[in-house]
């Protein structure tokens, strides 16, 4: 059985392989302009090294993308900010 999907009008479409079906969906999305305003367009993607995080790498990546950090890191940031303010007074 060949891969099938329904198009925007609900018509059933078939492809010889999944790859050709996926390639067609990507091409249609490109033609519709779905990829026009992506970040880093025409630039290299930034590489973030999460190797030190080990099995927690994905969790840390999710927190970072949400603009949050684990409580101990937030506490460390606050402590460093307080120390900097104290040093500025001295």
pLDDT value at 61 more than 70: yes
Give residue 5's pLDDT: 75
Tokens in use for 45? 């993607």
pLDDT band of 29, cuts 50, 70, 90:
very high
Closest residue by Cα to residue 40 from 32, 48, 52: 48
- Of residues 47 and 73, the one with the higher pLDDT is 73
Half-sphere exposure of 10 (CA within 13 A, CB side): 0
CA distance 90 to 88: 5
Which of 66, 65, 68 is CA-nearest to residue 77? 68
What pLDDT is stored for residue 75 in this prediction?
A: 92
Q: Does residue 86 carry a pLDDT above 90?
A: yes
Task: Bin 67: left if φ > 0, else alpha if -120 < ψ < 50, else beta.
Answer: left
Mean pLDDT of 10-23: 76
The total of other beta-carbon atoms located within 10 Å of residue 78's CB is 10
What pLDDT is stored for residue 87 in this prediction?
Answer: 93
């Amino acid at each position: 059985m060949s891969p099938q999907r329904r198009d925007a009008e609900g018509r059933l479409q078939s492809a010889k392989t999944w790859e050709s079906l996926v390639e067609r969906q990507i091409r249609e999305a490109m033609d519709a302009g779905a990829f026009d305003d992506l970040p880093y367009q025409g630039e290299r993607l930034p590489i973030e090294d999460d190797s030190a995080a080990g099995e927690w790498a994905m969790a840390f990546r999710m927190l970072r993308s949400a603009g949050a950090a684990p409580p101990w890191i937030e506490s460390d940031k606050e402590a460093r900010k307080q120390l900097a303010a104290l040093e500025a007074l001295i």
